[in-house]
Every structure is written in C-alpha cells, then in structure tokens.
Structure 1
Amino acid sequence: AVIHKTHVTCKCHGVSGSCSLITCWQQLASFREIGDHLKDKYDGATEVKINRRGRLQIKNPRFTLPTSGDLVYLDQSPDYCVDDELTGSFGTQSRLCNRTSPSTDGCNLLCCGRGYNTYKTLVKERCKCKFHWCCYVECKTCAKLIDLHTCK
C-alpha cells in the first residue's frame, strides 16, 4: 500500500526559476492517505474458504474474483460491541462516550447503535489559582455540574 501510493515529485532549480535543472524523487503519500486506502481495501475484502483441494475459493459465488491487490479473509471479525470472553472483548456497554464526536469515541459509533444514557455529575476541580511570590500556588476548589454519557 505504501509503495502503491508513492508519487513522483519534482523541483526546478535555476536563476529566477529558469528550471535549468530539475530534481525529481519518489515521495511517500501522507499517513492519512495510506490509511484511507487500506480502510477502503478492508471494507471491500472478500470472504474465502479452503476447498477440498486446499485452494482458496470465494465463499459466496455472487461476488467477483478478487485481484492480487484485493484483501481476502477466512474468518469474520469478532463483534467487539458485545462482551466475549473468547476474544477478550469487554464490549462497549457502560463505556463513557462523547455525545458530540463523529469519531470513534462518539456515542453513535462506540455504542454500536444501542444508544446511550446521560447522567449529570458534580465534578470538583481546582480553579482561580494564584501564584504567590515566592514560591507556591494557591487555588480554590470549584464544583461544576457536567453531563456524562455511557453506552446502553
């Protein structure tokens, strides 16, 4: 994937940009670009099985044959949404999540579509801190009510 995503980059050298000498090199794609490429391959992977002759065969004949650049797999990925001692997954029930995040810590994704509960909780933290010469910091303790979200 890294080699496939490299591209040629060139730079001109010369007086006032005359381009009398050009230097070119292979440049790696960004980490994000390579990651997106691999994620696309993962999402389009084909399930295969081993036939009687010990060769790989597509499990569902409705799908087209994978090319040498495609990913294939023998076993389904485990469902990390539910508690499973065999895979070591604790599931996501009761996990803290971020209600507003569209990323992997967001309640929509992390809670696997089961929804989430919202709780109000009182948090005490240091605030109104002052530095005194010399040499200590004095703070007050402030209490604030915040919302916590946990997966159902």
Structure 2
Amino acid sequence: MRCRPPPSATPSPGPAPLATCPAAPAAQSQALRASLEMKCKCHGVSGSCSIRTCWKGLQELRDVATDLKTRYLSATKVVHRPMGTRKHLVPKDLDIRPVKDSELVYLQSSPDFCMKNEKVGSHGTQDRQCNKTSNGSDSCDLMCCGRGYNPYTDRVVERCHCKYHWCCYVTCRRCERTVERYVCK
C-alpha cells in the first residue's frame, strides 16, 4: 500500500496519514461497521412498551474517530515475505506477533514532513505560522519539529465601534492593533 503525503505537510512519524492511503476507505468502512449498535425505542400508552422498534445505528462519530486514530497510531509496519508459492504481509520485526485482520498495517513509513521534499510534495514546516498556546497539530512545539520558532509582530486593521443607524445602515471605525505571531525556524 503506497500512501501519498497530505497537501499541507505536518510532521507524522509512522504510517502515512489515514486520509491519504488508498486503503483508508476500507479501514474507515470497517470501523463504521464495527461501531454499529442496536438502538431500540418503545411505543405505547404512558411509556408502556407494547411495541418496540429496534434498528442498528452508529455510535457517536467522535468515538469512531478515536478508535480509528488509536488503530492508526498502533499500525504495524509489514513486508512481503514469500511463503510457499505466495507472498504474505508479515510484520517487519519478526518478534512481533502475527497481525490481526482488524489491525492497520503499512508498507512504507511516511516521509519526514518537517523537511522540504519536492519529490513527495512536502514544503516542510520552516516559516510556517504556528500557535504557541495550542496543544493541537498547529502547536509550535509539534509543527516546528523541535527547531524552535521566531516571534514577530503584525499590525491588524479591523472594523470596530460599529453603530447601527435607523434605517438601515451600519457605520464603523477602523481600528489598528498589534498581535504577536510565531513562525517555525
């Protein structure tokens, strides 16, 4: 399975991002099917359950996404190994137990998205704006790949002190403020 790097590169050790792998739709469909749960509703006078309607419904999408991310982060690198007349995918490290059908596997590690690599379409993260206070993928700690970041100030012009006039228009002043921003080294 060959996976492409994402259009906006962020660092990603291990397998290529799930959304960019050709096998991703199958893994996502499998996760959704596994998340189906029986839901029932009772119908009747004063809450009696004289008729019960049941159907299969999806769990909360956040739970399905969390399960997929957990499986993605624990994906096993595999290689083709001849076994008899056929090739099988087996874990690269032979001391790892056999891979289950429900586990995600990958043949190639993701490229280093921290560094510019035009061959795989990665622009790297140097000079990318980051968020110093975030814990997410836009955080300076994660996005800058340990290289640090530089602060700079930016002047932003915005509409402010807006007033509604009867009838029917709004007048505003233009206010300027200074904001501190950060870019990866």
> Do they fold alike, i.e. is TM over 0.5?
yes
- TM-score, scaled relative to structure 2: 0.74
Indicate the percent of aligned positions where both proteins have the same amino acid.
47
Shift of 1:134: 5.6
Matches within 5 A, 1:71-90: 71-90=104-123
- Residue number among 26, 36, 44 corresponding to 1:6 in the alignment: 36
The offset of 1:2, in angstroms, is 0.5
Deviates more, 1:102-111 or 1:67-76: 102-111
Aligned partner of 1:25 in structure 2 is: 55
Instruction: Confirm whether residue 113 of structure 1 aligns to residue 146 of structure 2.
Output: yes
Corresponding residue for residue 143 of structure 1: 176
**Deviation of the 1:131 alpha carbon:** 3.8
Instruction: Give the alignment's Cα RMSD to 1 decimal.
Output: 1.8
**Higher relative contact order structure (alpha carbons within 8 Å, sequence separation ≥ 6):** 2
SS of the equivalent of 1:89 reads coil
Tell me the number of residue pairs that the alignment of Structure 1 and Structure 2 aligns. 152
Shift of 1:101: 1.8
The residue type equivalent to 1:97 in the other structure is C
Higher helix share: 2
Counterpart position of 2:92: 59
What is the letter of the counterpart of residue 89 of structure 1? S
Give 3-state SS (helix, strand or coil) of 1:11's partner.
strand
- Aligned to 1:40, the other structure's residue is in SS state helix
Q: TM-score, normalised to structure 1's length?
A: 0.89
Give the deviation of 1:136 after TM superposition: 4.6
C-alpha distance in 2 between matches for 1:104 and 1:4: 28
Uncovered stretches (5+) of structure 1, i.e. residues with no partner: none
* In 2, Cα distance between equivalents of 1:135 and 1:3: 53
Q: Secondary structure of 2:163's partner?
A: strand
User: Which secondary structure state, in structure 1, belongs to the residue aligned with residue 98 of structure 2?
Assistant: coil
Residues 68-122 of structure 1: per-residue CA shift (max 9 Å, x gap): 1111111101121211111101111111112222222222222223322211222
Q: Distance in 2 between matches of 1:118 and 1:91?
A: 19
Does residue 38 in structure 1 map to residue 68 in structure 2?
Answer: yes
The Cα shift of 1:28 comes to: 0.8
Measured against aligned partners, the alpha-carbon deviations of 1:17-43 in whole angstroms (never above 9, x if no partner) come to 111221111011222111111111111
For residue 178 of structure 2, give the secondary structure of its aligned residue in structure 1.
strand
Q: 5+ unaligned residues in a row in structure 2: which ranges?
A: 1-30
The structure number with the bigger radius of gyration is: 1
- 1:124-143 to structure 2, matched below 5 A, reads 124-132=157-165, 136-143=169-176
1:47 is aligned, of 62, 77, 91, to 77
For 1:123, what is the secondary structure of its paired residue? strand
Instruction: Assess, with a 3 A threshold, how the Cα gap between structure 1 residues 134 and 24 changes in structure 2: closer, same or farther.
Output: closer
